[in-house]
A and B are shown apart, each in its own frame.
Chain A
Amino acid sequence: MRNLSIYIHIPFCVRKCFYCDFLSGPACDGEMESYVNLLLREIEKQSIFYGDHRVVSIFLGGGTPSLLPAWETGRILERVREDFALAENAEITIECNPGTVTAEKLENYITYGINRLSIGLQSTDDGELARIGRIHDYASFLETYRLAREAGFRNINIDLMAGLPGQSLASYRKTLERVAALSPEHISAYSLILEEETPLYVNRESYTFPNEEEDREMYELTGRYLGEAGFQRYEISNYAREGWECRHNKVYWRRGDYVGFGLGASSMVQNVRWKNPEEHAAYAACVEKMEADALKRMADITETETDRAARMEKSSLQGMDFAEMLRQTDRREVQELTLQEQMEEFMFLGLRLTEGVDLQEFQRYFGKTAEEIYGKQISSFTEQGLLEQEGRRLRLTPRGVDVSNAVFAAFLF
């Protein structure tokens, strides 16, 4: 059995935050229901390709997935359980925003098997929260956090942001102190990125942002302060107590297989990358095509195979033109990664992790040493103090993290 991770996109939120360019927007209950219906159909039809996979993590992301009525979330997870082989200790995360969950909803989550909660706090300063258009204040976060612990969540992540308009090093330190004191298992601390066409970008002239120097000081402070508080940085923006790293997140950096369901969701399975359509109508049409395709395949399976084991074997990606099937069912940006592209990804994704990349693994996987392919980059960046090597592990130095894009770009062919 191969390992598989599942991402499920919930494109709903109360309203868009000012920095957000994700695929999400407000919706009524009816719209949510019909979206979940589509989602269930997609999950069911796609499962026929993963009969030989075991699901090790599920991530419900958005948007604000906690906006869904609890029973809708329940329907989704029930469908996954029914159609996929779920590992017993699978990590199942749902993202939620303060103020969108009740004690009851959280208890329901536990019942559905959700064992990790990711709470979008961003800052403990109400002024900063208001400036970026968050729907909650610090107090409502504390309430949500308390309810989550009471409901029985043992694995909680808190999202933070540095570089917010009006944020100072002092106010950021305050946020770090308060959050660390709550003792969550995991903290994600991102630098704000101004994405074009977001309100924050459009009105950027009317805000005061921390300058680059302050931004980097905030980054350094995060590592230092959280380190002292018992959180280790394991990826550029992610910190966890020992043993509580996000397994789902690491799948992306280590190039494990994952399949995304829902509007605009991204997938990579066996070195093929693709995306679902980003408009609702196109997504619905895409699901229709998946169904038609699945119907044909299922007919083939039921006619020829009767026993379950044989059927399982048939319901896999073995021996089929996977990429062709994806294209025929309207999936977007279908890309069969060439060996070179796989090497590029191995480097620029793996180097995001604090542990870096294993050069021995590179050689095992690609049949060539990393030095043969990237000798120039590795030695030049090592000389410049941006990369360092310990045994056969290669990783970014702290200065290398600051300018990591420049390093990563050099690993592209």
Chain B
Amino acid sequence: MSITDQSKIRNFCIVAHIDHGKSTLADRIIEQTGLLTSREMQAQILDNMDLERERGITIKAQTVRIVYQAKDGNEYIFNLIDTPGHVDFNYEVSRSLAACDGAILVVDAAQGIEAQTLANVYLALDHDLDVFPVINKIDLPSAEPERVKNEIEDVIGIEAQDAPLISAKNGIGIEDVLEAIVEKIPAPGGSPDNPLQALIFDSVYDSYKGVIVFCRIKEGRVKKGTKIKMMATGAAAEVVEVGYFGAGQFIPCDELTAGMVGYLTASIKNVKDTAVGDTVTDVNNPCAEPLPGYKKVNSMVYCGMYPADGAKYPDLRDALEKLKLNDASLNYEPETSIALGFGFRCGFLGLLHLEIIQERLEREYNLDLVTTAPGVIYRVYKTNGEMIELTNPSNLPDPSEIDYMEEPVVSAEIMVTTEFIGPIMQLCQERRGRYTSTEYIEASRALLKYDLPLNEIIYDFFDALKSRSRGYASFDYELKGYEQSKLVKLDILINHDEVDALSFIVHADSAYERGRRMCEKLKDEIPRHLFEIPIQAAVGGKIIARETVKAMRKDVLAKCYGGDITRKKKLLEKQKEGKKRMRQVGNVEIPQSAFMSVLKLDDN
């Protein structure tokens, strides 16, 4: 590719609420710009992890460069940066947005604005992006494009009357979108003659090339041989290759200059060195300051992950190592549980991130995992003035050494139709929410704002929210900070033995209720043994709830089928196999499902 005219570049992303058609629109744009034939298109080009396609969400940012022949006779370069679509990945979203100059806001013509629509639009506006809306799914019988246009103008305050009316699914109105991109999204600024200043918005590990850094060149130029430095991590390397993003492939080029979006490789072995949000500069001609907005991403949710088969521990370690190469936000360190043996305490951005890692470990690495209840990071202030960040409940110091504890709190926004305000407010109260405000978006919809302890929303809050609003509520949050709280460690004793993997931290007021439900749940999960098994919940050595698994009364095979001993033995073998898959605590066999079942205690 020859030197590109900066005024003919458009760097943009698409923002939307989940399911409003972001990925489908991305596919159509790629398709209609002619770089790909329909045959080459997989169902959704940009979501290329199986998991993403199955869940219909984008986990990692994907980027593609396409060429568009506009009606004005000029050829434009579009860099479409597809951003992750979940609150867990908000920081990644913000860095992807920072790599863009404008955004297309996709709004579902039937559903209108949702919580994530707002969150994402505000995020885009915060990054000074020029946002223009498109109304999608106009072919749905329930589509109300006029109402939605008005809603966009009223609520977000951006011009929407000339918004393209499209159906991404059926390819209606895509041409209008492409023209709008040319008209409404500004060309990138910056000068190739300034010192290099490039924003890292993603990176992937490739076993041949090492880390491939996705970046937006804000100022200057970079090419093979440039000695670069990451300003935050301090890592330095010599560029081996630069290029841009073809459809599903990396296409090398000679140079990347200001305004361009592309990749570089520099024999970097670890994604840790190429943190998202960091600034790349030229060692020999450094820029004065890094780009704003970099922050170190911290894990918000922790849980223990153990191989179901203890012998698979090295496999789990290797798998985590490999995933970590591609996912700087995944943390893990080895830990040992009396009940579960050797495993890892893993840190995640949120519950979705946790679930994704868990599924990838199980599917791509064929591991059978036992996961303990996810928890947040608590700050424990000890009487000796020391503060520890607690990620594993088992490590809670003795109560006598604890001065006080703090837990993370988030600011949450819940978009809900007015008829469900009552149940949702009740849910937030139950989860120790602190009411901030209600804003009416329109007569029938409101935005509820609450401060909620993070540990109250990581388990099943989203499910509860959906079920209590018949699926109508949507939800977004960001970390607000730490607040002092009355927290206790809830222990579970099975047949009088404490099961470390079942302990968790809970607010003192909910301890009894949680303990009771845990015991009930475990009672159903633990099979009857030859003896009676008490299941107890305890706080600080005091029993607060108890259930009993009665002794097995009958387990006998009366009949023998004409000397068919083999059949009989198969039954016994099945019984023995079943036992093998369980975890032994004392002389009680606990099925692995018991460790997971306690994660879902809200059965409303």
* Interface residues in chain A, defined as those with a beta carbon under 8 Å from any beta carbon in chain B: 7, 9, 22, 59, 61, 190-191, 193, 212-213, 215-216, 236-237, 249, 252, 258, 260, 265-268, 273, 275, 333, 335, 344-345, 348-349, 384, 386, 401-406, 408-410, 412
Contact = CB atoms under 8 A, between A and B. Distances in A.
Contacts of A345: 565, 569
Contact of A191 (B558, B563, B565, B579): B558
Given A252-B565, A266-B562, A275-B566, A409 B556 contact: no
A412 B553 contact: no
Contacts of A348: 568-569, 572
A252 B556 CA distance: 17
Given A266-B563, A386-B530, A402 B572 contact: no
A7 to B, nearest CB: 6
A402 B553 contact: yes
Contacts of B573: 409, 412
B575 interface: yes
Interface string B111-146: 000000000000000000000000000000000000
B556 A236 contact: yes
Given A266-B565, A266-B566, A267-B563, A216 B554 contact: yes
Contacts of A267: 563
Given A9-B562, A410-B576, 15 more contacts: A216-B553, A236-B558, A237-B559, A275-B564, A275-B566, A345-B569, A348-B569, A349-B565, A402-B556, A403-B553, A405-B571, A406-B530, A409-B572, A409-B575, A409-B579
Contacts of A252: 560, 563, 565
B531 interface: yes
Nearest to B573: A412
A406 B563 contact: no
A409 B554 CA distance: 14
Query: Which of B562, B566, B569, B579 counts the most chain A CB atoms within 10 A?
Result: B562
Contacts of B553: 212-213, 216, 402-403
Contacts of A61: 562
B572 A405 contact: yes
Given A333-B566, A402-B553, A405-B572, A237 B530 contact: no
Given A260-B562, A267-B563, A409-B576, A384 B555 contact: no
B565 A273 contact: yes
A252 B564 CA distance: 9
Contacts of B579: 409
9 contacts: A7-B562, A190-B558, A265-B562, A266-B564, A266-B566, A268-B565, A273-B565, A348-B568, A403-B555
Contacts of A404: 555-557
Contacts of B575: 405-406, 409
A402 B575 CA distance: 16
Nearest to A406: B555
Contacts of A349: 565
B552 interface: yes
Closest 7 CB pairs of A and B: A190-B558, A405-B555, A266-B564, A409-B575, A237-B558, A212-B553, A409-B576
B208 interface: no
Interface string B533-568: 000000000000000000011111111111111101
Nearest to A215: B554
Interface of B: 530-531, 552-566, 568-569, 571-573, 575-576, 579
Contacts of A193: 557-559
Contacts of A410: 576
Contacts of A273: 565-566
Nearest to B551: A403
Contacts of B568: 348
A345 B554 CA distance: 21
Q: Classify the interface of chain B: helix, strand, loop or mixed.
A: loop
A117 B211 CA distance: 82
Contacts of A268: 563, 565
Contacts of A408: 572
B578 to A, nearest CB: 9
A190 B559 CA distance: 7
B563 to A, nearest CB: 5
A7 B562 CA distance: 7
Contact of A412 (B556, B564, B572): B572
Contact of B563 (A258, A384, A402): A258
Contacts of A190: 558-559
A185 B540 CA distance: 64
Given A260-B563, A273-B565, A386-B530, A212 B554 contact: yes
A22 B567 CA distance: 12
A348 B557 CA distance: 11
Contacts of A22: 561-562
A212 to B, nearest CB: 5
A61 B553 CA distance: 32
Contacts of B555: 402-406
A384 B552 CA distance: 13
Contacts of B569: 344-345, 348, 412
Contacts of A275: 564, 566
Find the residue from A344, A402, A405 having the highest chain B CB count within 10 A: A405
B565 A412 contact: no
Contacts of A335: 566
B576 A403 contact: no
A384 B531 contact: yes
A253 B255 CA distance: 83
B365 to A, nearest CB: 31
A403 B554 contact: yes
A48 to B, nearest CB: 22
Given A212-B553, A237-B558, A403 B565 contact: no
Contacts of A409: 572-573, 575-576, 579
A252 B560 CA distance: 9
B556 A403 contact: yes
A406 B552 contact: yes
Nearest to B562: A61
A215 B531 CA distance: 19
Nearest to A22: B561
A402 B559 CA distance: 14
Contacts of B559: 190, 193, 237
A7 B558 CA distance: 19
A262 to B, nearest CB: 9
A401 B552 CA distance: 12
B572 to A, nearest CB: 5
Nearest to A413: B576
B95 to A, nearest CB: 56
Nearest to B556: A404
A340 B557 CA distance: 22
Contacts of B571: 405
A7 B560 CA distance: 13
B586 to A, nearest CB: 14
A289 B553 CA distance: 48
User: Counting chain B CB atoms within 10 Å of each CB, which of A215, A252, A260 scores highest?
Assistant: A252
Nearest to B560: A252
A349 B567 CA distance: 13
A406 B527 CA distance: 12
Nearest to A191: B558
A235 to B, nearest CB: 9
A7 B565 CA distance: 14
A190 B554 CA distance: 13
A219 to B, nearest CB: 8
Contacts of A7: 562-563
B113 to A, nearest CB: 48
Contacts of A237: 558-559
Nearest to B557: A405
B572 A403 contact: no
B565 to A, nearest CB: 7
A327 to B, nearest CB: 15
Contacts of A212: 553-554
A27 to B, nearest CB: 18
Contacts of A213: 553
B564 to A, nearest CB: 4
